[in-house]
Structure 1
Amino acid sequence: MNMLNTKGLRFPIDVILVCIRWYVTYPLSYRHLEEIMQERGVSVDHSSINRWAIRFLPLIEKISRKHKRPVGTSWRMDETYIKVKGAWKYLYRAVDKEGKTIDFLLTAKRDMAAAKRFFDKAIAAHGTPEKVAMDKSGANKAAIDAVNVGWQMPIIVRQVKYLNNIVEQDHRAIKRITRPMLNFKSFGSARNILAGIEVMHMIRKGQIAIGGMNTMSFADQFYALAGQIR
């Protein structure tokens, strides 16, 4: 737990990692965490926990991509809503047919350009899927059409609602954690914290592979990822 750069921080790294792990694992607010830590004899302000989450969670998410297990080639893609500064933003997400997380992207708009950015990101990280199931969104279909331009083996699109039940159900795990957060204060903080929530969700689904992880608790898997950061 001592690999993170904690220069300028007056709390030990184990306290920092416990706080941010709890925040992205359970439906808690920063003030809840402040109270919980106080009960354990650690006096930390909720604003400090917020800064730690914004600083360290995207680093842990970046490391997790190096250790992520392969995903399937049949994707289910959908977007859900996240409130940022009182306005709805859009979290694009996809899972494979087994429910494993493929990728995610927070965007300010819900349109063809945003959907294509999501597909470009997911394909760059995981390769081209054979087929993608989605809802009847014209913007999402247009994004896949744009991706398919010039390809000899285009991605098959299936706009059948029941096929997307698995990704819609998967959204609930993310929304359960974000609900007590009430309202993100900035787009950047929302993006960074959602990255941490998605990492913990993938750990719970057995998607991360570091030596010995099969015998580790979910908590220790999170700390093992943090320990990879230089």
Structure 2
Amino acid sequence: MASTSPSYKGHRYPVEVISHCVWLYFRFPLSFREVEELMLQRGVIVSYETVRRWCRKFGQAYADGLRRRRPQPGDKWHLDEVFIKVNGERKYLWRAVDQDGNVLDILVQKRRDKAAARRFFRRLMKKTSAVPRVIVTDKLRSCGAAHREVMPSVEHRSHKGLNNRAENSHQPTRQRERAMKGFRSIGGAQRFLSAFSGISPHFRPRRHRMTAHEYRAEMTVRFVIWDQITGAAGRPTTA
């Protein structure tokens, strides 16, 4: 699906530098200062504050561009919630993935009651413009109550053992949360994780199912897609 790359008007750095810094930050457990150091090693002088502004401005745009390139979600959705620390307090990260492990949406909320589940279900259907055939959740009663209210015609399977797909998708987030030592605000957590869940999986194919040759070929294709959605492909070297 064709999409328009973000505008870089007013930025003095080439798009290749901007997109590379954003890729480094969302793909690897790096701080802004560490991205600054890596770029310095390559002869590019850019401050960590500039990297932070680029990630905040372009991260979600890049993630949205990647999502638009994906096929329609599958008809079996796995939903799960996990606690995260925000400014030292427990909050909840709601996540939905399809049967292929593609992240459909995430939402950071203060609670995991019926209202929170209902809000996530409605947001999920609006964002995907789709209704699943089956949803799979754990034994949380809030999900069952919200399901009966929001999507009563959809089959609901509630069993902890069936929901490994969603639970496994939390692992990269956990790794990054540890590296960042938690989040400072709900809004900041939502912004980061929304972009992170769109960018990080793009560069995480199921390597254990591929030969080394297949993996390199797949990653080459994914880097081409990245250049296309960021606008780095075929652009001049100056902005």
Task: Normalising by structure 2, report the TM-score.
Answer: 0.79
Q: Which residue number in structure 1 is paired with residue 181 of structure 2?
A: 182
Structure 2: tracts of 5 or more residues without a match: 206-216, 233-239
**8 A Cα contact 1:78 1:94, kept in partner:** yes
| Residues in 1 aligned to 2:180 and 2:36: alpha-carbon distance in whole angstroms | 14
Whether the 8 Å contact between 1:4 and 1:13 is mirrored in structure 2 is no
Matched with 1:172 is 171
* 2:49 maps to 1:47: yes
State the SS of the aligned residue for 2:70.
Answer: coil
Opposite residue 191 of structure 2, the aligned amino acid is N
Residue 124 of structure 2 corresponds to 122
Between 33-42 and 216-225, report the one with greater CA deviation.
216-225
Q: Distance in 1 between matches of 2:177 and 2:229?
A: 22
Change in CA separation of 1:189 and 1:66 when aligned onto 2, cut-off 3 Å: same
* 1:132 and 2:135 correspond: yes
Structure 1 residues 83 and 217 mapped into 2: Cα distance closer, same or farther (>3 Å)? farther
TM-score (ref. length: structure 1): 0.82
Code of the residue aligned with 2:144 in structure 1: it is K
Match of 2:198 in 1: 199
Partner residue, 2:222: 218
Checking the alignment, whether the CA contact within 8 Å between 2:5 and 2:229 is kept in structure 1 is: no
Identity across the alignment (%): 32
Residues 107 and 114, structure 1, Cα contact 8 Å, conserved in 2:
yes
Quote the RMSD (CA, aligned, Å): 2.6
Deviations 1:5-58 (A, max 9, x none): 234434322111111111111111212112211222222222221111111111
The alignment of Structure 1 onto Structure 2 pairs a total of residues equal to 217
Which stretch of structure 1 is more off in the superposition, 156-165 or 186-195? Answer: 186-195
Task: Report if aligned partners of 1:21, 1:222 keep a CA contact under 8 Å in 2.
Answer: no
